Homo-oligomer: A and B are copies of this chain.
Amino acid sequence: MSSRGPDANRKEPMVLKPVGIIHSPYKTMDEAPFQGRFSEETAELEIYEEYTQALKDVEKDRFIIVLYWGHLGNRDVLQTITPWGPEIRGVFGCRSPSRPNPIAFCVVELLKREGNRLVVRGLDAVDGSEILDIKPYSSKIDSIPDARIGWFEERSQQSQGFSSDTEVHLDKDENT
């Protein structure tokens, strides 16, 4: 029983507009870290000129949330083997770049703003990724201490040697 209807609540199609582009040291997904937070590398967020007004006050933040389009992800994948494998995970249960809507989420440290360019530390995006949104990070609403990804805790936190996500295509609905 689904409530899915003919988009009754939607005013317009859900088409995203790129608001900027990421300049990062990672040319491929294999070069990018699994999670940017564990990296000291810096990257640059270039916001397109037509969105300059939206940047007002951004420079006052120390941490920002970056949403970007994971253009290298596979949108048809519903389950995957993560770098922490070998078990199969649902994509809503892991942080794989492959998912129905490849909107990547990363919390980064804002080092400086130079006009329309934001220099940040801890971004995991591949060079050339398109920016969808920037939001200020607030510990009051965004920080949960001691929240763990359930299955991840069940495993050793050592990578098992899987170099990146391995996509899994299943035909039947497992409903697990």
| Chain A residues within CB distance 8 Å of chain B | 2-4, 7-19, 21, 23, 35, 37-38, 46-49, 51-63, 65, 67, 69, 71-72, 75, 78-79, 88-95, 99-101, 103, 105, 107, 115, 128-130, 132-152, 154, 170, 173-176
Set of chain B residues within 8 Å of A3, measured between Cβ atoms: 21, 23, 46
B54 close to A90 (CB less than 8 A): yes
Give 7 nearest A-B pairs by CB, closest first: A60-B150, A56-B90, A57-B93, A14-B16, A53-B78, A92-B134, A63-B147
B105 touches A135 (CB 8 A): yes
Cβ A69 vs Cβ B14 within 8 A: yes
CB distance from A65 to the nearest CB of B (A): 6
Among B15, B38, B58, B154, the residue within 8 A (CB) of A13 is B15
**Chain B contacts for A139, CB-based, 8 A:** 143-148
